Structure 1
Amino acid sequence: MNNPGCYLQYKKKPEAAIRLFCFHHAGGGASTFYPWLEYLSPKIEMIAIQLPGRENRFSEPLRNNIKEITDELSKGFSIYKNKPFFVFGHSMGALIAFEFIKTIHQLYFLYPCHMIISAAKAPHLLSPIRSSQLDDTNLKEQLKAYNGIDECILNNDDLLNLFLHIIKSDSSIYENYSFSKPKPFPFDILALSGTDDQSVNQEEILAWSAYTRGKFEHLSFPGQHFFIKDNQKTILKIINQIADNFP
C-alpha cells in the first residue's frame, strides 16, 4: 500500500491506463473504497482520498475548510499528472471532488476525463448543514435516518463518540463553504442517486448538468443515501465501462 499524504493507493498498477480518484463521504474514510479493488478493471488504478483525522491519518487534526483540503491535494497531485484520470465523489466527497477539479486545472491546466458524483446536490444549491451544532442525540437520529451509521458503532460508546466528533467536523465543511461558479467543464458528468435518499432530490441532482458542456447523464438506483453499497457491482461495471472509452 502506497500512502503519500492524502492519496492512498491500496494496490499499485503501473500498467494501468487511467487513474480513478475516489472521495469519501462525511464521517467516512478511504477504506470505503477498498472493496472496489476486487471489481475494478485492470485498466484502472484507484487512488482513494483520505482526509486527515481518521483511519491511517487518525493522529492528524481534522480539517473543516475545503480550501485547506484542496491545497493539500494539489500539492500532492504532481506525481499523478502523467496519466489521464477521472473522479468519483459520494455525498460530501462530490463537493470536494468538484473543488479538487477546479484547483488542479488552475495549477496544472489538466482536467479529468469524466466526473461521477453520487448522492450530492449541485454545489450552487448547497445550504449550510448545521449537523456540527446538533447535540449527540439528535445527530445520531439524523444519521439513522440516512442509514449512515453501522450498528457496531451505535452499540459502542467509545466508537460512537469518536465517529460523532468526525462527522461534526466534516459537516462544518459545508458550513464554511463559499461557492464560486466555474465555467462549464469540458468533460462528461454522470450523476448517481438513490430512489429513497431523503437528503437530495432529483432536481438537485439534475442541476449538476449546468457544470458541463459535454454529456450529462443521471442514473437512479434503489436505496437510501448509501445506495452505492447495495449496488456496488453494478456501479463498478459502469465505472469500468467509462474507463474503456479512453485509450
Structure 2
Amino acid sequence: MTSRQTDDEVHTSMTTGTDSDTWFRRYSTAATPRRRLVVLPHAGGSASFFHPWGRSFGSDTEVLVAKYPGRHERLADPFIHTMDVLADQVTAALLPFADVPMTLFGHSMGASLAYEVVQRLEKRHAVLPAALHVSSREAPHRVLPRELYREEDAALIAELRRLGGTDSALLDDPDVQEFVLPVLRADLTIADTYGPRPDTPVACPVHAWIGDADPSTSAGEMNAWGDVAPRGFRLRVLPGGHFYLVEQHDVVVRELCDQLATVG
C-alpha cells in the first residue's frame, strides 16, 4: 500500500464483484432457491447476530448475511470507512445472486446501506429487488451527520449501553472492548458521515420497522421513508428499543415470511 492509498482504496482494488463468499454468510437451501433475503447488519454488528434468521424462512428462501471486514472470518481485512465504498463492494458481491428475486433487510446503519445498494442494483445493473426493508434508521434525506466516531472510547461504550443489544457486563471487560471498539469506530465513521442524501425513489416497495422505545429515532422519522417509496410503503412499529428485532424475533420472522411468500 502506498502512502497515498487509504484502506478503502486498497479494498476497492483487492475485492472483486465475484468475491461473494468473502462478503456473505450463505444459508443455502436444499434445492434451487425461489428467492433470496439479503441481511445487512448494524454498525458494530456481524453476521453472527443474525444467525437465528438463517434457516427461518423456509426451504425455498436462501438467506445471505453480510460479513463486514475487520471481524470474525475477515479479521485481517482492513476496515472500510465510507458508505459509498461499502455499498459499491456489497453491490458487486450481490450480482451473482441476482438470478432469483432479491429482498434486502437492513438494520440501523444497514438500512442506509440497503438503500444505497438498491439504488446501485437498479441504476447501474438493471437489477430490480423485490422489496427493501429498513429498520431503526432515518431516511436518506433525513439522516444527519454526527461525530460520535471521533469521541473517546468511553463515549462509544456509553452509546452501546444506550442502544442495548450488547450485554452490559461484557462491555466492562477490557478484552471485549479491545475487540469491539475498533470495529464500532470504523462502522460509526461510515454511519456518521452519511447523509443527508437526495430522496431518490426506489423501484420497489419499502417496509420500515421501528421499536416504540428506540432512543435513536422515532416512528415519525421512519415514516419519511415513504418519500422514497412510490411503489408502496408500510411502517411497522413493534414493542422494544433499538434492538426490538431480538425481543420480537418471532413476530419479525413471521411477518417477513408472509412478505417473502409473495415473491418468486
Distance in 1 between residues matched to 2:254 and 2:181, nearest whole Å? 33
Residue 31 of structure 1 corresponds to which residue in structure 2? Answer: 48
**Greater mean deviation of Cα atoms: 136-145 or 191-200:** 136-145
2:13 aligned residue: none
Flag as ranges the 4+ runs of structure 1 deviating above 6 A. Answer: none
**Structural mapping, 1:1-247, within 5 Å:** 4-151=21-168, 153-181=170-198, 183-247=200-264
Q: Kindly provide the CA deviation profile for residues 78-134 of structure 1, in whole angstroms up to 9, marking residues without a partner as x.
A: 311111110000000000111111111222101211111111111111111222112
Residue type matched to 1:28 in 2? G
Instruction: String of CA shifts for 1:61-88, please: whole Å, max 9, x gaps.
Output: 1111112112212322231111111000
Asked if 2 retains the 8 angstrom alpha-carbon contact of 1:39 and 1:233, the reply is no
Identical aligned residues as a percent: 24
Native 8 Å contact 2:171 2:177 kept in 1: yes
Mind listing any 5+ residue stretches in structure 2 that lack a counterpart? Answer: 1-18
Aligned partners of 1:9, 1:111: CA distance in 2, in Å? Answer: 21
SS of residue paired to 1:123: coil
Does the 8 Å contact 2:148/2:192 carry over to 1? no
**Deviation readout 1:183-210 (Å, 9 max, x if unpaired):** 4222111111001101001221000001
Counterparts of 2:30 and 2:132, CA distance in 1: 21
| Unaligned segments of structure 1, at least 5 residues | none
Checking the alignment, whether the CA contact within 8 Å between 2:36 and 2:61 is kept in structure 1 is: yes
Q: Does the 8 Å contact 1:113/1:187 carry over to 2? A: yes
* Other structure's SS at 2:27 match: coil
Q: Conserved in 1, the CA contact under 8 Å of 2:119 and 2:202? A: no
Q: Within 2, Cα distance between the matches of 1:187 and 1:44?
A: 19
The normalised TM-score by structure 1 is: 0.93
3-state SS, counterpart of residue 21 of structure 2: coil
AA in 2 matched with 1:113? A
CA shift in 2, pair 1:229/1:117, >3 Å: same
- Which digits, 9 at most, give the CA deviation of each residue in 1:13-38, with x for residues without a partner? 54221000000000001111111124
Contact 1:184-1:213 within 8 A present in 2 as well: yes
What's the C-alpha RMSD, in Å, of the aligned pairs? 1.8
Q: Aligned to 1:20, what secondary structure does the other structure show?
A: strand
Q: Partners in 2 of 1:22 and 1:32 — Cα distance? A: 11
Paired AA for residue 177 in structure 2: L
Q: Does the aligned pair in 2 maintain the 1:7–1:50 contact within 8 Å?
A: yes
Checking the alignment, whether the CA contact within 8 Å between 2:29 and 2:59 is kept in structure 1 is no
Task: Label 1:234 to 1:116 Cα distance change in 2 as closer, same or farther (>3 A).
Answer: same
What is the count of residue pairs matched by the alignment?
A: 246
